[in-house]
Amino acid sequence: MIRLRAHGHSATPGPITLSRQPGLMRSTATSPAPTSDTELIARAAGGDERAMGDLYDRYGQVLYAVAYRIVGQRADAEEVVLDSFAQAWRDATRFESARGSVAGWLTTIARSRALDLVRARGRRDRITATAAAERPDSSPAMGGWRADPSLGVEHAERRAAVQLALESLSPPQRRAIELAFYDGLSQSEIAELLQEPLGTIKTRVRLGMQKLREYLRPFYFERGP
């Protein structure tokens, strides 16, 4: 369980405290230790396709969420998720836990494929449509996820933490990071789009990400040994 405490109104970014209550996450003393993500990848690398099914249960929704946000259509987002897991299956033997978590690796694949799809189809309008859209701030997080209810809760808790952390950023910092992450824009492109100096955008991205890192360290997905 993650405790989230925001001080001040959400529209006014202020100091936030994010802490995780130990012992109440999915791995409890009474339940068997779940297979780690890196173990699942190792099994996939050994040809065990069920391991990919298990990874889908854990991260399929996460990949779909980012893909949908980028491509804006269900069918395309599902195609991105399919391609991403297929790529992960092919490249499982190349996964290096020292370079980050399985979740980070899968997300990078999905985001990259989604951006490639948008670019390939020349659907710039789709990009700007999602870029210009304001972010939902009161909708239930991951409400539709059914594969593993405990994971749904865990993802929802993490997501709430991320939303609070994002609210702690200044709106220009948040905007710059979202344009980079969801729209695949380079810092130069962001500067051009927002008609701001490149140095300003670089500072916003760097400081914003540093702040997110500071707040979100307790919420990282599983890391390798």
Partner 1 sequence: MSHPEHETPQDLAAAYALGALSPEETKEFEAFLKGSPEAQREVAEYREIGALLALTGSDAAPSPGLRDRVVSRMHGHIFPAAAPARASGPVARPGPAWGAMAAGLLAAVGLGFGYVQMREVTDLRKEISRVREQYNNISGILAERDATIKQLVGPGVQLFQLTASGDPNPAIQLFWDRAQNHAVVHGHKLKAVPQGKAYQLWFIKDGSPVPSVTFKPDPTGDVHLEQISVPADGELSAAAVTLEPEAGSAQPTSPILLVGKLKES
Subset of 5-24 contacting partner 1 (CB under 8 A): 11
Residues with Cβ within 8 Å of 92's Cβ and at least 6 positions away in sequence, in order, are 41, 42, 44, 45
How far apart CA 136 and CA 155 sit, in angstroms, is 16
Residue from 63, 109, 117, 151 binding partner 1 (CB under 8 A): 63
147 binds partner 1, rule: CB under 8 A: yes
Using an 8 Å Cβ cutoff, are 179 and 190 in contact? yes
User: In DSSP terms, which residues pair with 6 in a beta bridge?
Assistant: 16
Nearer to partner 1, 24 or 86 (CB): 86
Q: Convert residues 125-144 into a mask of x (bound to partner 1 by CB under 8 A) and - (unbound).
A: x--xxxxxxxxxxxxxxxxx
Number of residues that bind partner 1 (CB under 8 A): 109
Task: Kindly indicate which of the ranges 14-22, 24-32, 77-85 contains the residues binding partner 1, using the contact rule CB under 8 A.
Answer: 77-85
Nearer to partner 1, 29 or 208 (CB): 208
Using an 8 Å Cβ cutoff, are 106 and 63 in contact? yes
Residue from 13, 18, 117, 182 binding partner 1 (CB under 8 A): 182
Q: Which of residues 81-110 bind partner 1 (CB under 8 A)?
A: 81-82, 85-86, 89-94, 98-101, 103-108, 110
* Max CA pair span of the chain: 56
How far apart CA 57 and CA 89 sit, in angstroms, is 15
Other C-beta atoms closer than 10 Å to the C-beta of 133 total 11
How far apart CA 148 and CA 78 sit, in angstroms, is 19
Q: Convert residues 156-175 into a mask of x (bound to partner 1 by CB under 8 A) and - (unbound).
A: --xx-xxx--x---------
Look at the block and give the residue holding tokens 């959400």. 10
Nearer to partner 1, 30 or 192 (CB): 192
Residue from 2, 40, 62, 169 binding partner 1 (CB under 8 A): 62
